[in-house]
Chains A and B, each alone.
Chain A
């Protein structure tokens, strides 16, 4: 059994948690931050800057934001691993998995550092 398969329950758990985060939280965040804010629907940049700091510039907001972003990275890594298998890259499963999970780990560390600096 390859090392990557020993942690299979962990990958699937992160995949499930991240999937629900992505499905339930990401569309709303993207709609507001990606469309409503740039188009000025919810106020001037200085106003939204202040509002975002109130919501996410505290430990609870930072923890929530970190959890959402990190889990979505892990979900995506696992989903793309199976995407690679679907495309016939089964013989490269181990290296592809290591690269994807390392990317998710890097994304997690980056989100901790970036969100923590708020």
Chain B
């Protein structure tokens, strides 16, 4: 069949489609976590800048974070980051696995377990390293 020469507009979702179902709202909320991650990045960069200045600057940075508004802000960022992390690892496990030689492709369940195990391991490693238990 010959291709039509009629020009058409690209397909687009109806306005407000994401409000129609809880799953759509969660999907859009997940995309909005980009704001949360930028916030975490800026918080970390402010900390690194304080670290490269002086002990007093670092202490001032920690005092701001330890104040009530600071703690509320960090708690909100932490909740947003954890929501992102757990959903990212779950969605990532749905990407079809690549077969390596004669080995069968890993199942989605196995990939999900590996993702969560990596998350727990790296989080514990970071906590242990920064806690001063080994340094």
Contacts and interface: CB of A to CB of B under 8 A. Distances in A.
A82 B130 contact: no
Contacts of B78: 27, 30-31, 34-35
Given A42-B130, A86-B18, A23 B84 contact: yes
Task: Kindly state the interface size class of chain B when it binds its partner.
Answer: 35 or more
A33 B44 contact: yes
A37 interface: yes
Interface of A: 19-20, 22-43, 45-49, 51-56, 65, 69, 72-73, 75-77, 79-80, 82-83, 86-88, 90, 107, 110-111, 114-115, 117-118
Interface of B: 10, 12-13, 15-16, 18, 27-28, 31-35, 37-38, 40-41, 43-45, 47-49, 51-52, 55, 58-59, 62-63, 65-66, 70-71, 74-75, 77-78, 81-82, 84-86, 88-89, 92, 118-119, 122-127, 129-132, 135
